[in-house]
Amino acid sequence: MNKSHPKFLLTTFGCQMNQADSQRLRGLLASIGYAETENEEEADLILFNTCCVRQHAEQRLIGRIQSLINHKKRNSHLIIGVSGCMAQNMQAELLEALPLVDLVFGPNDIEELPLLLQRAANGKTLGSFIGKGAFDGDSADGIVLSRPFSAMINIIRGCTNFCSYCIVPYVRGPEISRPLSELKNYISDLAARGVSEVTLLGQNVNAYGRDIGLEEGFTQLLEMIEGIDGIKWVRFMTSHPRDFSLASIKRIAQLKKVCEQYHLPVQSGSNHILELMKRGYSREMYVELIDAVRENIPGASLSTDIICGFPGEREQDFADTLELVQKVRYESAFMYYYSLRNGTEAAKMTEQLSENEKKARLAKLIEVQNLISLEESRKLIGQEYELLTESAAARDQSHLVGKTRSGRSVDFPGDKSLIGSYVKVRIEKARNWTLSGTLLNPGEKA
């Protein structure tokens, strides 16, 4: 190994919590002299930050690791590491299941990475998996941002909801909020570093502050960020419909920096299934929340997560979900079929549906939602939006991609010097989820 300049390749699976953790992993690796590479062949460390929310996520990882066999044979010094939720869930078992792996550590062991790497150079290594679960060491200059103007921030770790299908509370531990004063310093430091957009993350951001005695802590946090110079746009995810109060929507509507993007996972449109899922709200309460968002926040885009084929889901329950989707008309939805996760309550339910039934329902749901997405996207043609320019377009380097406040990506012709700045575009074309547009006042930055 070239000790003066070892290289790492990091692949992130799963949700934005993992992406935020990867910002920190990159920062830690940089602090001990590692440089990042995208090329497997030259990597001394290949690290996978993993997800275990559905079986499919796990299978993808196993396939990727097995494909490294020849590479590992050629480079005896290569360290293959697995971090994140799947690592936390399987721990030592993962080393047995995947002999190519040298290092396994969980989301709460991230700060230990430099030490763990030293040990991994001498043999198979495991994290402690208990960790501090806190936010120690995560300072604004301790993270590496893939876009220097945009940062993801974990405001609350873990989850205490125990929805009956979900493995996250078992692998991420209980909710722990990061103190408000600490977040104030952290976000101010990020702004001083040139960050203008922040995305606040948690499995349930609306629970922020509950464990540290704050009332309406999430709204307080947003109000605090409103006062930080340099931060222009604030996004957040994920909201739990049960904990999003109507009063907080009214307060948030007054805040100029908070973007009009509402991801409100409904999971099912049937009260019978919502109860079995232990979501803590009814269809009627959910619809009331959607109405409140639409009434108070003009132009808000709405998206959701839906699981079909949950144990015991009858035709009528599924029809209720389809009907809800048609009623709300989400701009987009993440749709899944139910995946059994060992150790969860739903895994023990007797009325499991067959793979075919679950897949058929998912296909129907996707068909209905795709049409709605397209119809909703077409309504945007001719409208003008402010965008934060994020990157060059992957398929055409003379095009850029930016995001609207409502979270829609727009492709438009433009010069790379605009990356990181706010511009105005007019939407010209719409496909399902992709919008394309043209730059207004090309010489000027919005």
> Which residues form the interface with ligand SAH (CB under 6 A)?
53-54, 165-166, 168, 203-204, 238, 240, 265, 267, 305, 307, 336, 338-339, 341
Spatial separation of the C-alpha atoms in residues 222 and 405, rounded to whole Å? 16
Write each residue from 183 to 212 as x if it is in contact with ligand SF4 (CB under 6 A), else as -, in one continuous string: --------------------xx--------
Cβ-count burial 195-223 (b if 16+ within 10 Å, e if not): bbbbbbbbbbbbbbbbeeebebbbbbbbe
Which residue has the CB atom at the shortest distance from ligand F3S? 14
Q: How far is the CB of 95 from ligand F3S (least distance, A)?
A: 19
Residues 165-194 that bind ligand F3S (CB under 6 A): 168, 171-172
Q: Which two tokens stand for residue 211?
A: 């464990």
Interface residue with ligand F3S among 6, 7, 18, 261 (CB under 6 A) is: 18
Spatial separation of the C-alpha atoms in residues 63 and 82, rounded to whole Å? 13
Other C-beta atoms within 10 Å of 382: how many?
Answer: 10
Spatial separation of the C-alpha atoms in residues 224 and 218, rounded to whole Å? 10
Interface residue with ligand SF4 among 87, 116, 143, 159 (CB under 6 A) is: 159
Spatial separation of the C-alpha atoms in residues 253 and 236, rounded to whole Å? 14
Q: What is the DSSP secondary structure assignment for residue 267, as one 8-state letter?
A: B
Spatial separation of the C-alpha atoms in residues 157 and 80, rounded to whole Å? 26
Q: Which of 373, 363, 392 lies closest to 329, judged by CA? A: 373
Question: Nearest 10 degrees: CA dihedral of 218, 219, 222, 227?
Answer: -130
Interface residue with ligand SF4 among 87, 95, 113, 166 (CB under 6 A) is: 166
Q: How far is the CB of 48 from ligand F3S (least distance, A)?
A: 11
Q: Which is nearer to ligand SF4, 245 or 409 (CB)?
A: 245
Interface residue with ligand F3S among 1, 9, 15, 392 (CB under 6 A) is: 15
Interface residue with ligand SF4 among 5, 162, 179, 194 (CB under 6 A) is: 162
Choose from ligand SAH, ligand SF4, ligand F3S, none: what does 439 bind? Cβ within 5-8 Å by kind: none
Choose from ligand SAH, ligand SF4, ligand F3S, none: what does 51 bind? Cβ within 5-8 Å by kind: ligand F3S
Q: What is the DSSP secondary structure assignment for residue 295, as one 8-state letter?
A: H
Residues 69-128 that bind ligand F3S (CB under 6 A): 84-85
Binding site for ligand SF4 (CB under 6 A): 159, 161-163, 166, 168-169, 203-204, 240
